[in-house]
Amino acid sequence: MKIDNVLCAFEFNGEPVSCQEFGKGRINSTFMIQTDTGKAYVLQLINKRVFKDPVKLMENASRVTNYLLERTDGCYTTLRYMQTKSGTYCHQDEQGEYWRMYEFVPGIGLDAPDSDEDLYQCALAFGWFQNLLADFPADSLHETIPCFHNTIDRYQKLKESIAADVMGRADSVRAEIDYLLSREEIAGTIQRKLDSGELPLRVTHNDTKLNNVLLDPITHQSVCVLDLDTVLPGSSLYDYGDSVRFGAANGGEDAEDPSLVSLNLHLFEVYTKGYLEAVTSLTEKEIDLLPIGALVITLELATRFLKDYLDGDIYFKIKEPHHNLLRARNQIALAQDMEQKMTDMEAIVRSLRRTLSKCSI
Ligand code: GN1
Ligand code: MG
């Protein structure tokens, strides 16, 4: 069996006794490997269409995890990637596919918070990650997906897909296209400020969904930050915003009825409080722009899902034919609700900032 050959390439403890598909990633394929020692590992087939250079991806991920392991204060578990027998962090099989493996970390990943505390724990974990990497040289990381959160470029690519209209779907989604194009200016806000130097370039995770933080199954304390595939130079506002987009919404990316999707202002406050408590290095400008960060990344995801629908669903895994369109509609509904609530979001950030600055005096 192919997976047996792949496993043979890696150094790890014990003999594999079972291999099962695992996880809910939209990009890579993931397997859980149990061994006869009781130790378990996660084996992943890296999606080459998305990650054109898996070797560079693993160079970024292993440099970051090794850096975290050297500095960790014991608060969090850091992913430990297994090396291949030739001393690399990924294995290329006979079909040219790339695989990587890491030690399984027990815990639960939630698609929606069970309680406020879950989201707060997620904020603390991503805040810890941001703080510990504050002095890591961001520009030394490979740009494994060029322009990943460059929303100006994302809009350009959406327009190209609308013009090409390879599936003949553009006319049926005119309302969604019109809304997104009408928000092009605001969607470029963060990128323009990064380009001008008004916002600092940081090492960012770039996929800060709640389910990318493992929680202890009993205490629900955050244990480990997962999925370092998109650790890249970027803006803290995208990391903060993506957590809000995913974790502080009523109705998730796959919600069945977009009219029920909205921003939960209470959860917005919970996440923002945890993030501001945990991240000590944000500039005043970054704090001012937190609510815009949430809106911009939501618009970005809407453009990406809609583009993939127009392109014929070639990027995100789908479970039914209109899945990407539904995801785009859900993100649009969330973005529209954030626009309505922008003044409230800004007031929450101002009030938290005042409270936290008093605490630190
Ligand atoms: C993808 O596969 P997963 O769930 O880790 C995507 C993210 C999106 C996310 C939306 C490399 O992440 O950017 O925010 O889906 N990852 C990549 O759920 O494109
Ligand atoms: Mg990911």
| Test site for ligand 1: of 27, 110, 145, 149, most ligand atoms within 8 A of the Cβ | 27
Ligand 1 contact, 50 CB (< 6 A): yes
Q: What is the pLDDT of residue 360?
A: 61
CA of 207 to the centre of ligand 2 (A): 5
Ligand 1 neighbour 27 (Cβ under 6 A): yes
Angle at 328 between CA 324 and CA 334, to 5 degrees: 145
Task: Give kind and range of the element (H or E) at residue 202.
Answer: strand 202-204
Residue 288 Cα to chain centre, angstroms:
22
Please report the domains of the chain, with CATH numbers, ordered by start residue: 3-103 (3.30.200.20), 116-360 (3.90.1200.10)
The finding on whether 227 has its CB within 6 A of some atom of ligand 1 is yes
pLDDT for the residue numbered 357: 81
The Cβ of residue 163 has, within 10 Å, a number of other Cβ atoms equal to 9
Pocket test for ligand 1, best of 207, 226, 297, 317 (most atoms within 8 A of CB): 207
Who's near 30: CB < 8 A, 6+ residues apart?
A: 21, 22, 23, 42, 43, 44, 45
Residue-level pLDDT at 156:
98
Spans of the chain, pLDDT less than 50:
1, 361
Q: How many whole angstroms from 75 Cα to the centroid of ligand 1?
A: 26
CB of 26 closer than 6 A to ligand 1? yes
234 alpha carbon, closest ligand: 1
Residue 246 alpha carbon, nearest atom of ligand 1: 18
Could you please report the per-residue DSSP string of 224-254?
EE---TT-EEE-HHHHHHHHHHHHSEES-TT
Q: At what angle do helices 189-196 and 290-311 cross, to 10 degrees?
A: 110
Check if 230 has its Cβ closer than 6 Å to any atom of ligand 1.
yes
Q: How many other C-beta atoms lie within 10 A of the C-beta of residue 95?
A: 6
Cα 120 off chain centre by:
17
pLDDT at 28: 93
Q: What is the pLDDT, as a whole number, of residue 361?
A: 46
Structure tokens at 265: 């202002």
Beta strands at 91-92 and 29-35: parallel, antiparallel or unpaired:
unpaired
C-alpha–C-alpha distance, residues 158 and 138, integer Å: 28
